[in-house]
Amino acid sequence: MAYAAAVEAYSRGLVLLEARRFRDAIECLDQAIDAFDRGMLEPDSRTRFAYFKRGCAKLELQQFEAAIPDFDRALELDPELVLAYAQRGRSKARLSHYAAAVEDFDAALALEKDPNDWSRDPLVDLALVDMQRGYSFEHLGRNAEAVAAFQQAIERGLSKELATRARKARDAIAGADT
């Protein structure tokens, strides 16, 4: 596949992903990634995002095991790709690998220390990462940490619906501990 065709496949994959045509998006991203793996494309931001976006498509299709290696590869190419940590954490949580999920959520939050930092990734919703951490802590029986994570999610400004869910989860866990 020529360079221009690989870039076109990458771009088409992103459009298909946005249209929620996940299987078609994976097929296009496979083509772009194949060109990278064969050395036809130099690693650049498109490369890391091709792996990341393919992982996201697999996550949406509930192919959690298959999504993780794509997030791993995206992180090999860019160890500070906050979104990849967050999505890999979601995949691990869906596989009931809660301790590993918490590690990824913690890594995402550690990279996003200052929500007012101009360089922070605007696509990372720290409140949702905290909420997912809360559920993972709850499954691990680490109730105090779960309550704190849900509280942090609420304070970061969840939507009304999600804030209500976080409050209910926080209050149920806090009530169970008394």
pLDDT in tens, 50-101: 999 999 999 999 999 999 999 999 999 999 898 999 999 999 999 999 999 9
Pairwise pLDDT comparison (22 vs 127), residue with the higher score: 22
What are the pLDDT digits (tens) for 10-45?
999 999 999 999 999 999 999 999 887 776 656 666
114 contact partners, CB below 8 Å, separation of at least 6: 120
pLDDT at 118 over 50: no
The share of the chain scoring above pLDDT 90, in percent, equals: 61
For the chain, the domains span: 1-79, 98-178
> Are the folds of 1-79 and 98-178 the same?
yes
What is the fold of 1-79? 1.25.40
Torsion region of 141: left, alpha or beta (phi above 0 gives left; psi -120 to 50 gives alpha): left
pLDDT at 115: 56
How many CB atoms sit inside 10 A of residue 110's CB?
Answer: 10
Cβ contact 21:53 at 8 Å = no
Six token digits for residue 14: 């992103």
pTM of the complete model:
0.86
pLDDT at 119: 45
The rounded radius of gyration (Å) of the Cα atoms in the chain is 18
- CATH code at 98-178: 1.25.40
pLDDT at 79: 92
